[in-house]
Structure 1
Amino acid sequence: MIPVRGYAGAKVAVLGLGRSGLSAARALRAGHAEVLAWDDSETARDTAVAEGFAIVDLARAGAFDGVAALIVSPGIPHLYPVPNRVIAAAQEAGVPVDNDIGLFFRSLATDDWDGFDVTPKVIAVTGSNGKSTTSALIHHVLTEAGRAAQLAGNIGRGVLDIDPPEDSGVVVLELSSYQTDLARALTPDVAVFTNLSPDHLDRHGGLGGYFAAKRRLFAEGGPDRAVIGVDEAEGRYLAGQMAEGPNDDRVIRISVDRKLSGFGWSVFARKGFLSEYRHGRQVGSIDLREVKGLPGSHNHQNACAAYAACRTLGLAPRVIEAGFHSYAGLPHRSQRVAEKDGVIFVNDSKATNVDSALKALLAFDNIRWICGGLEKDGGLGGLAPGLAHVRRAYVIGREAAQFAIGLGAVDTEVCTTMSEAVARAVRDAEPGDVVLLAPAAASFDQYDNFEKRGEDFMAQVHAQLGLGA
C-alpha cells in the first residue's frame, strides 16, 4: 500500500466505494486521515462499514464543513454531461476535488528514496486504443529483463494498492481519460500517448475535451521523456508542444504510418519491421512479423510505444525483442483462443469502438466477423477500410438488425445472441478463415462488461469445437 501523505489529522471525503474508492480510503487511513465515505449503493456502504469506515451522506447540507478534500472514483462525472450532485456541493463549498491518481503522485516518493542508488520511475500510458496492451507489454518486458516492475491503474492493481517501489523499481500505470482529467498531481517520469479516436465524448463535452484530458498528463505532468504517437493530428500537435524542436530527443515520436527519420529520437514500424532512429541514424530494429502475441498494425503501434518507453530506461533492443517474443497478450485483446482444422478463433471483445474494431479487421484476412452491441455515436462508416477483409458478419445485440444495416454491402446474418453467432460462424468457416469477435460496440445491452462478452465468446467456441472449458 502507498499511504497517502499530506492529510494526517484532516477530514477527507471519499465518493464511490468500488475498487479505486476503497483503495483510496484505506491509503488515506494509513496516512492518518479521517475518512468520511459515501456511495449510493447500500451494498458498497456495507462493505466500507465492515472495514471500519465512517459512512456520511455527502449530499446533505453541511457535509463538507471542515473537509480538506473530496476524493472521487473515476466513473463519477465531475463536469460533463452534468456534475454529480456531491461533487457540485464540494465545488460550491470550495473543497478541492481529486482522485486516487492524484493521491498516488503526491504520495509516492518518501524519505527512503534518498538512500536508493537508482530512484524508482513511473511510466504512465494513456490514449484511446492500445493503452492496456502497451502498459502490459512494458511491464512484461521489464519483468523478463529482471527489473522490479508493478502494473497498476486502469489495469492490474489499484494505484494505491501497490507496494512502495524498491531501489530501481518501475511502476507502469495505464491511465484513462477519466483518471487524467481530474488528478491534481500528474508527475510521471515517462508519459506515453498511443493514439486518439472519438470515445467518451459525452463525459468530456466533445472530442476537444477528451483530448484535453489526455493532454494533461504531458502539459501538466512535465515528464522527463514523452513517447507520442503521431499518426493523428492531435499526436503531432502534442509532440510539437512538448519538443523544443525536431532534434529534441526528450520527445520520442512513434508511427505505424510513415518512416520517421528526421527527428532527434523516433520509433516506427513499416511492413512488420520496427526501427529506432536517433539523430538520423538507425540504432535498433525488430522483426515483428513472428511475434505471435502482437498481430496487426495496431499491435505494432503498441510495440513501438513499449519499445520506446523501455529504451528510455536503458534496456537494449535485443532484450526488448526477447520480451516481445515471450509476451502472450492480454485477454480480450487480439487473443487467440483456439485453432481447429485450419480456422483460427480470436477474441477482441475490447474492440468496443469503430477505430479499435477497424484495427482488428485490418490485422487478418478471410474474417468471419462477430460484431454488434450498443452502438456508439458517430456511426459505422469508419469501418469501411476493413470490410474487404470480411467474408461474412454475424451480428449480435438487441439492435442487431439495425447494426447490420449500418454495415452496408457486407454479407450479414442477424444472429442476436453470441451462441447463435458462433455456431453459424463455425458452420461456415473454411481452412484459412479467422473467426473474429471485434464488436465495434459497447457490451451493456447484453453483458455487464466487455470481459463477460469475451468470456461468453470463448465458452461458445470451446463448446462448438468440443474443446471443453
Structure 2
Amino acid sequence: MIPVRGFEGQVVGVLGLGRSGIATIRALQAGGAEVVVWDDGARAGELAAAEGVALRDFAKPGGCADLACLVTSPGIPHLYPAPHPAIAEALAAGVPVDNDIGLFFRSLAGADWAMMEQPPKVVAVTGSNGKSTTSALIAHVLREAGREVQLAGNIGRGVLDIDPPGDGGIVVLELSSYQTELARALTPDVGVFTNLSPDHLDRHGGPGGYFAAKRRLFAEGGPDRCVIGVDEVEGRFLANQLSVGPGDDRVIRVSSAGKLSGPGWLVFAKKGFLAEYRKGRQVGAIDLREISGLPGAHNHQNACAAYAVARSLGMGPRQIEAALKSFAGLPHRSQKIAEIAGVAYVNDSKATNVDSARQALRAFRKIRWICGGLEKEGGVAPLLSDAAEVRKAYVIGREAAHVAMQLKGIEVEICGDMGTAVARAHAEAEAGDTVLLAPACASFDQYDSFEKRGDDFVARVQALA
C-alpha cells in the first residue's frame, strides 16, 4: 500500500466504492486521514461498514463543507455531460476534487528514496487503443531483464494498492483519459502516448476535450522522456510541442505506419520489421512477424512503444527482442483461442470502438466477423473500407439490425446472441478462415463488461473444441 500523505488529521471524502475507492480509503487511513464515503449503489452502507468508515451524502447542502479533499472514482463524471451532484457540491464549496492517481503521485516518493542507488521510476501509458497491451508489454520486457516491476492503474492493481517500490523499482501505469483529466499531480518519469481516435466524447465535451485530457500527462506531468505515437495528427502535434527541435531525443517518436526520418530518436515498424534510428543512423532492428503474441500492425505499434521505453531505461536491442518473443499477449486483445479443423478463433472483445476493430480487421485474413453490441457515435459504417478480408459478418447485440444495415456490400447474418453467432460461423468456416470477435461496439447491452463478452466467446469456442 502507498499511504497517502498530506491529510493527517483532516477529513477526506471518497466518492465511489469500487476497486479504486476501497484502495483509496485504506491508503488515506494509513496516512492518518479521517475518511467519510458515499456511493450511489444499494450496497453503500455495507461496504462502508466493512471498511469502518462513516457514510455521508456529499450532495446534500453542506455535505462537503469540512472536507480537505473529495476523491472520486474515474467512472463518475466531474464535468461533462454534467458533474455528479456530489462533485457539483464540492465545486460550489471550493473543496479540491482529486482522484487516486493524483494521490499516488503526491505520495509515492518516501524519505528512503534519498538513500537508494537508483530511485524508483514511474512509466505512465495513455492513448485511445493499445494502452493495456503496451503497459503489460513494458512490464514483461522489464521483468525479463530482472527489474522489479509493478503494473497498476487500469490494469493490474489499483495504484494505491501496490507495494512501495524498492531500489531501482519501476511502476508501470495504464491511465485512461478519465484519470489524466482530473489528477491534481502527474509526475511520471516516462510518459507514453499510443494513439488517438474518437472515444468517450460525451465525457470530455468533444474530441478537443478528449485530446486535452490525454495531453495533461505530458504538458503538466513533465516526464523526463516522452514516447509519442505519431501516426495521427494529434500525436505529431504533441511531439512537436514537447521537443525543442528535430534532434531533441527527450521525445522518442514511434510509428507503425511506415518509416520515420529525421535527426531525432525514432522507432518504427515497416512490413513487420521494427527499426530504431538515432541521429539519422540505424542502431537496432527486430523481426516482429513471427512473434505470436503481437499480431498485426496495431500490435507492432505497441511493440515499438515498449521497445522505446525499455531502451530509454537502459536495455539493449537483443535483450528486448528476446523478451518480446516470450510475450503471450493479453486476454480479449487479438487473443487466439483455438484452431479447429484449420480455422483460427480469435477473441478481440476489447475492440469496443471503430478504430480498435479496424486494427483487428487489418491483422487477419479470410475473416468471419462477429460484431455488434451497443453502438457508439458514428456507427460501424467507417469500417467498410477495412473489410476486404471479411467473408461474412455475424451480428449480435440489441442493435443488431441497425448494425447490419450499415454493413453494405458484406454478406451479413443477424444472429442476436453470441451462441448463435459462434455456431453459425463455425458451421460455415473453412480451413484457413479466422473467426474473429471484434465487436466495434460497447458490451453493455448484453454483458457487464467487454471481459464478460470475451469470456462468453471463449467458452463457446472451447465447447466446440
User: Which whole-Å deviations, capped at 9, do the CAs of 1:365-390 have from their partners, x for residues lacking one?
Assistant: 10010000011001223212321010
Could you tell me which residue of structure 2 aligns to residue 323 of structure 1? 323
Shift of 1:123: 0.2
Q: Secondary structure at the match of 1:197?
A: coil
Quote the Cα distance in structure 1 between the aligned partners of 2:263 and 2:13: 47
Quote the Cα distance in structure 2 between the aligned partners of 1:214 and 1:275: 27
Quote the Cα distance in structure 2 between the aligned partners of 1:189 and 1:384: 40
User: What are structure 1's unaligned runs of at least 5 residues?
Assistant: none
Could you tell me which residue of structure 2 aligns to residue 422 of structure 1? 422
Say yes or no: does 1:21 pair with 2:58: no
Task: Tell me which amino acid in the other structure corresponds to 2:383.
Answer: L
CA contact (8 A) 1:153 1:159 kept: yes
Could you tell me which residue of structure 2 aligns to residue 435 of structure 1? 435
Shift of 1:108: 0.3
Could you tell me which residue of structure 1 aligns to residue 54 of structure 2? 54
Quote the Cα distance in structure 2 between the aligned partners of 1:180 and 1:378: 25
Could you tell me which residue of structure 1 aligns to residue 201 of structure 2? 201
Could you tell me which residue of structure 2 aligns to residue 86 of structure 1? 86
TM-score (norm 2): 0.99
CA contact (8 A) 1:11 1:35 kept: yes
TM-score (norm 1): 0.98
CA contact (8 A) 1:355 1:382 kept: no
CA contact (8 A) 2:59 2:88 kept: no
User: For structure 1, which segment, 42-51 or 102-111, has the greater mean C-alpha deviation from structure 2 after superposition?
Assistant: 42-51
Task: Tell me which amino acid in the other structure corresponds to 1:266.
Answer: L
Q: Secondary structure at the match of 1:208?
A: helix
Task: Tell me which amino acid in the other structure corresponds to 1:3.
Answer: P
Quote the Cα distance in structure 1 between the aligned partners of 2:412 and 2:402: 11
1:17-416 equivalences under 5 Å are: 17-416=17-416
Residue-pair matches, total:
465
Shift of 1:462: 1.3
Shift of 1:42: 2.9
CA RMSD of aligned residues (A): 0.8
User: For structure 1, which segment, 180-189 or 394-403, has the greater mean C-alpha deviation from structure 2 after superposition?
Assistant: 394-403
Q: Secondary structure at the match of 2:166?
A: coil
Quote the Cα distance in structure 1 between the aligned partners of 2:45 and 2:229: 42
User: Which whole-Å deviations, capped at 9, do the CAs of 1:309-333 have from their partners, x for residues lacking one?
Assistant: 1111001111111111111010000
Shift of 1:398: 1.3
Quote the Cα distance in structure 2 between the aligned partners of 1:324 and 1:258: 20
CA contact (8 A) 1:358 1:385 kept: no
Could you tell me which residue of structure 1 aligns to residue 12 of structure 2? 12
Quote the Cα distance in structure 2 between the aligned partners of 1:300 and 1:385: 21
Task: Tell me which amino acid in the other structure corresponds to 1:437.
Answer: L
Shift of 1:58: 1.0
Q: Secondary structure at the match of 1:70?
A: strand
Q: Secondary structure at the match of 1:445?
A: coil
User: For structure 1, which segment, 316-325 or 99-108, has the greater mean C-alpha deviation from structure 2 after superposition?
Assistant: 316-325
Identity %: 70
User: What are structure 2's unaligned runs of at least 5 residues?
Assistant: none
Quote the Cα distance in structure 1 between the aligned partners of 2:134 and 2:443: 23
Say yes or no: does 1:455 pair with 2:455: yes
Q: Secondary structure at the match of 2:14?
A: strand
Quote the Cα distance in structure 2 between the aligned partners of 1:44 and 1:235: 41
Quote the Cα distance in structure 1 between the aligned partners of 2:296 and 2:57: 49
User: For structure 1, which segment, 447-456 or 382-391, has the greater mean C-alpha deviation from structure 2 after superposition?
Assistant: 382-391
Quote the Cα distance in structure 1 between the aligned partners of 2:423 and 2:60: 53
CA contact (8 A) 1:395 1:412 kept: yes
Shift of 1:3: 0.1
CA contact (8 A) 1:36 1:55 kept: yes
Q: Secondary structure at the match of 1:160?
A: helix
CA contact (8 A) 1:352 1:438 kept: yes
User: For structure 1, which segment, 37-46 or 312-321, has the greater mean C-alpha deviation from structure 2 after superposition?
Assistant: 37-46
